[in-house]
């Protein structure tokens, strides 16, 4: 500084001041950039949410899962108590299936061939003539005409009895349809057919005596006596004529048991 001339000292001082300002300004700029970058990073950390963390939906990891009861599995359907839609289809099959025509034909044949064991009643027969020697309803005569009348009567009783059996079964909440035997062999399966003719199943699958199968033949015969039998027939005759229905009940079930599965 002593070697600098007096005239140049003010200019030297000015240049040194400018240099200091420039150096200070660059340092200030660096500091400002550092501060601004740290501020931006802090703002980004506070404003932007964290990336989503997958949450397990397992029942055991949910809060309060220990207090929630586990789901109870629905009970399996009972094979001995068929659903309503299945029972409806079997009811229609009983009305229009082969058994609906074969069973009344067998019953009418038995009625046609039955020999009269008592004298022909004088009342109820239209007009004089030779009294028929056979026929459960003598007023209907013999031959094809008599058989047709007996067949129509038995078919009407079959329709009425089937409808009553299924209707009473629904009222009592019983499955009155036939269930095939799980056994093997001819004799066990035939025995199952005869026993099951008077057996129904409750909702729990328990086999019980079928009240609908027991009373429906008599009720069907009572309908026939009141609707189209000759006037001399009464309730006692309905009880007697319904006996033919009981021994023909297993025949339809025989067909269902040995039908191709």
Tens-place pLDDT, residues 13-53: 555 554 555 555 555 455 445 545 554 455 445 444 555 55
Q: Where are the beta strands (DSSP E) in the chain?
A: 199-201, 207-209
CA distance 104 to 242: 12
Q: Helices then strands (H, E): number in the chain?
A: 9, 2
- Is 3 within a domain? no
Classify residue 55: in a domain, yes or no.
Answer: no
| N residues, the chain | 261
pLDDT at residue 235 tops 90:
no
242: left (phi over 0), alpha (psi -120 to 50) or beta: alpha
CA 135, 137, 140, 141: dihedral to nearest 10 degrees?
Answer: 30
Q: How many CB atoms lie within 10 A of CB 199?
A: 16
Number of domains in the chain: 1
Range of the domain at 231: 84-120+130-258
For 52-194, where are the E strands, in sequence order? none
Identify the weakest region by mean pLDDT among 66-70, 89-93, 241-245: 66-70
C-alpha of 207 from chain center: 20
Confidence at residue 204, expressed as pLDDT on a 0 to 100 scale: 87
Residue 65, domain member (yes or no): no
Q: Does 28 reside within a domain?
A: no
DSSP conformational letter for 51? P
Does residue 93 sit within a domain? yes
Average pLDDT of the chain to the nearest whole number: 73
Work out the number of other CB atoms within 10 angstroms of the CB of residue 162.
20
pLDDT bucket at 157, cuts 50 / 70 / 90: very high
Residue 159: per-residue pLDDT:
94
Residue 202 within a domain: yes
Q: What are phi and psi of 115, to 5 degrees?
A: -85, 140
Answer whether 167's CB lies under 8 Å from 213's CB.
no
The Cβ of residue 168 has, within 10 Å, a number of other Cβ atoms equal to 20
- Beta bridge partner(s), residue 209: 199
Specify the higher pLDDT residue, 157 or 234.
157
Residue-level pLDDT at 75? 52
Assess if residue 75 is contained within a domain.
no
DSSP state of 71: P
User: CA angle at residue 253 from 251 to 257, to 5 degrees?
Assistant: 120
pLDDT at 11 over 90: no
**73 inside domain:** no
What pLDDT does 149 receive?
A: 93
Average pLDDT over residues 176-184: 87
């Amino acid at each position: 500084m002593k070697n600098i001339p007096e005239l140049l000292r003010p200019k030297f001082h000015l240049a040194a001041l400018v240099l200091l300002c420039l150096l200070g300004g660059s340092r200030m700029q660096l500091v400002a950039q550092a501060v601004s970058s740290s501020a931006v990073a802090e703002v980004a950390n506070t404003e932007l949410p964290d990336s989503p963390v997958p949450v397990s939906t397992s029942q055991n990891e949910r809060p309060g899962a220990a207090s929630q009861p586990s789901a109870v599995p629905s009970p399996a359907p009972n094979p001995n108590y068929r659903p309503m839609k299945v029972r409806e289809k079997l009811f229609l099959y009983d009305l229009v299936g082969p058994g609906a025509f074969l069973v009344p034909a067998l019953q009418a044949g038995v009625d046609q061939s039955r020999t009269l064991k008592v004298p022909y009643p004088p009342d109820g027969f239209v007009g004089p003539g030779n009294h028929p020697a056979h026929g459960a309803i003598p007023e209907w005569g013999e031959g094809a005409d008599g058989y047709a009348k007996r067949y129509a009567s038995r078919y009407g009783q079959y329709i009425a009895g089937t409808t009553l059996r299924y209707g009473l079964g629904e009222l009592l909440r019983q499955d009155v349809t036939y269930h095939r035997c799980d056994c093997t062999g001819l004799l066990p399966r035939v025995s199952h057919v005869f026993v099951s003719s008077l057996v129904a199943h409750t909702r729990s699958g328990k086999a019980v005596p079928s009240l609908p199968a027991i009373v429906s033949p008599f009720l069907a015969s009572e309908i026939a006596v009141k609707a189209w039998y000759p006037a001399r027939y009464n309730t006692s005759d309905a009880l007697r004529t319904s006996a033919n229905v009981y021994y023909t009940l297993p025949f339809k079930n025989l067909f269902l048991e040995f039908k191709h599965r």
